[in-house]
Amino acid sequence: MKDLVNRFLSTEDKALIKERVAAAEKRTTGEIVVMVVSSSYHYPLANILGGALFGFIVAISISLITGMETMWHFLGFFLPSFVLGNETIKRSFFLKRPFVSRSDMEEEVEEAAIGSFYKKEVYNTRDYTGILIYISLFEHRVWVLGDKGINAKVDPAVWQGIADIITAGIKGKKQGLAICEAVDHCGDILQQHFPSSSDNPNELDDSVVVGH
């Protein structure tokens, strides 16, 4: 799971995105941050539910095969199987996903994106024109958040349109190029409302922020 982001974006992809962020920011006083995380939350309940289901199936199967069908035998088979299932699901996005609801994923990604917006100081730009492009791989979700300066100028639906560009690119296995395209669109929007000036410091790092 740690290497998921590195499999999602190659070193070349990250370098190209950084270049596009820098190019976009030269046209505007705004700032753009791209962040990619393997997961927005660890979903402990999913580990428990998956471990319990695995433990129950294993315990029932062994009890029926061996004929040892008392409650004590069942518990003896269930507990180690539960622990094994719990630890396995904890380490596997593929196995964990069926035990996490869509609504839980939506809530956790939104909360993590907003938290990252503040943690990475996207809110702390001179004209409040920071934009965060937040991509959470386990949940298959993309959030685009603009600060109050740029949000006062554009329709919130614009951010969903930019997120959709990335989502479509991921489905087509062209995520690097799709993120670059999204960055370009953010640059266009920022340039329209906050064009570059003679005083245009680079307030936030242009590199892709990688999280786990």
pLDDT at 145: 96
CA pair distance 146, 11, nearest whole angstrom: 27
Question: Crossing angle of helices 44-66/71-90, nearest 10°?
Answer: 140
pLDDT one digit per residue (tens) for the chain, 212 residues: 547 898 999 999 999 999 999 999 999 999 999 999 999 999 999 999 999 999 999 999 999 999 888 888 889 999 999 999 999 999 898 899 999 999 999 999 999 999 999 999 999 999 999 999 999 999 999 999 999 999 999 998 999 999 999 999 999 999 999 999 999 999 999 999 999 988 888 999 999 999 86
Q: How far is CA 185 from CA 27, 124, 152, in A?
A: 12, 21, 17
- 43, two tokens: 């979903």
Whether 193 and 179 have beta carbons less than 8 Å apart is answered as: no
* SS3 at position 187: helix
CB hemisphere CA count around 138 (13 angstroms): 30
Residues of the chain with CATH 3.10.310.50: 4-41+101-211
Please name the fold of domain 4-41+101-211: Diaminopimelate Epimerase; Chain A, domain 1 (3.10.310)
Phi first, then psi, for residue 195 (nearest 5°) are -65, 160
